[in-house]
């Protein structure tokens, strides 16, 4: 097995980049549902490559495997980029608020969560436009803490905080608030329609792709994306309202 030095030769770097390129592309596609309209998957892949180069500069042999360290830096760079580009026009934010307001009114009126058709009809809005606005809403959602957590590296003593910027530790109150948020989120997910719960479960827990979920549920990949988007928007709206 190759041992990497702090200063890695150029030809070795090229070989490492070739080895990591499939992982970079895979991670970019896994995070692509969060992309705002003005950012492409190619942009995310470029950011991943820069994350890899940064990892090669900072890597210290002996502490952890290069593969472990580099993959964390790659994903961290992509997530930082998504945070930095999660901007949408003010006019679009107003439309998102209008949709959320209509959904809340219909839910109070009928005593249940309305479906997309009902919300669009209430707003006299074409479904295509409705789903387009939902995609913007999802792109503007904060990146999840879970994006930095994984059980993939159980063979390593790596402290993940070494790879993620952390300016301060949580206070007991913040820890309690986060636990309360998780409990509220679990309760809200449980109230979602069965198909939306199933899509979230297959995507986040079973780690299936949108295409794979479509095959399991016998629906199109675009329909899976729509169900996924509407579930996230509902959860975001509910959490905001609960505060």
Q: Is 148's pLDDT higher than 50?
A: no
The verdict on residue 155 lying in a domain is no
Averaged pLDDT, 76-105: 78
Q: 130 to each of 116, 119, 178, 220, how far by Cα in Å?
A: 8, 9, 32, 18
C-alpha triplet 152, 83, 167: angle, nearest 5°: 75
Q: Look at residue 132 and tell me if it is in a domain.
A: yes
Among 63, 86, 109, residue at a domain's last position: 86
Domain presence at residue 157: no
Report the number of distinct structural domains present in the chain.
Answer: 3
Q: What is the mean pLDDT of the chain?
A: 76
For the residues 21-40, what does the mean pLDDT come to? 79
The residue among 55, 86, 117 that closes a domain is 86
Is residue 82 domain-shared with residue 101, that is, in the same domain?
no
- Judge if 77 and 95 occupy the same domain: no
Mean pLDDT highest for which of 62-66, 164-168, 214-218?
214-218
Whether residue 107 sits in one domain with residue 73: no
CA atoms within 13 A on the CB side of 240: 12
Same-domain check for residues 21 and 66: yes
| Same domain flag for 175 and 243 | yes
Q: Is 37's pLDDT higher than 70?
A: no
pLDDT per residue over 124-136, tens digit each?
999 888 888 877 6
pLDDT tier at 5, thresholds 50, 70, 90:
very low
- pLDDT beyond 70 at 78: yes
CATH code, domain with 199 = 1.20.140.160
Q: Does residue 144 belong to any structural domain of this protein?
A: no
Q: Is residue 153 part of a domain?
A: no
Do 178 and 117 share a structural domain?
no
Q: How far is the C-alpha of 195 from the C-alpha of 223, rounded, in Å?
A: 11
**CB 92 within 8 Å of CB 177:** no
* 21 plus 41 within the same structural domain: yes
CATH code of residue 104: 1.10.10
Question: 165 lies in a domain?
Answer: no
62: domain CATH number is 1.10.1740.10
Q: What are the pLDDT digits (tens) for 155-197?
A: 455 554 455 545 556 656 566 666 766 777 777 888 888 888 8
Residue 3 lies in a domain: no
Residue 151 resides in a domain: no
Please, which residues have CB within 8 angstroms of residue 153's CB and are 6 or more apart in sequence? 68, 72
Which residues constitute the domain of residue 221? 171-243
Give the DSSP letter string of 77-141: HHHHHHHHH----HHHHHHHHHHHHHHHHHHHHHTS---HHHHHHHHT--HHHHHHHHHHHHHTS
Q: Is there a single domain that holds both residue 203 and residue 186?
A: yes
149 or 230: which leads in pLDDT: 230
C-alpha angle 171-188-170 in degrees, rounded to nearest 5: 10
Inform me whether the pLDDT recorded for 38 exceeds 70: no
Q: Which positions ≥6 away from 17 have C-beta within 8 Å? A: 49, 52
């Amino acid at each position: 097995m190759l041992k990497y030095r702090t200063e890695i030769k150029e030809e070795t770097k090229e070989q490492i980049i070739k080895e990591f390129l499939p992982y970079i592309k895979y991670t970019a596609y896994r995070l692509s549902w969060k992309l705002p309209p003005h950012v492409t998957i190619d942009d995310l892949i470029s950011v991943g490559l820069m994350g890899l180069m940064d990892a090669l500069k900072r890597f210290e042999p002996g502490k952890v495997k290069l593969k472990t360290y580099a993959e964390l830096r790659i994903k961290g760079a992509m997530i930082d980029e998504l945070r930095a580009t999660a901007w949408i026009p003010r006019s679009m934010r107003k439309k998102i608020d209008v949709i959320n307001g209509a959904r809340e009114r219909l839910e109070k009126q009928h005593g249940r969560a309305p479906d997309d058709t009902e919300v669009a009809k209430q707003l006299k809005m074409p479904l295509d436009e409705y789903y387009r606005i939902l995609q913007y809403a999802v792109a503007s959602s904060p990146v999840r803490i879970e994006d930095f957590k994984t059980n993939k590296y159980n063979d390593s003593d790596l402290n993940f905080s070494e790879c993620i910027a952390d300016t301060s530790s949580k206070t007991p109150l913040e820890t309690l608030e986060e636990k309360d948020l998780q409990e509220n989120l679990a309760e809200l997910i449980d109230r979602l329609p069965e198909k939306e719960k199933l899509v979230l479960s297959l995507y986040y827990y079973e780690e299936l792709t949108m295409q794979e979920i479509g095959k399991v549920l016998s629906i199109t990949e675009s329909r899976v994306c729509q169900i996924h988007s509407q579930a996230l928007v509902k959860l975001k709206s509910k959490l905001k309202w609960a505060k």
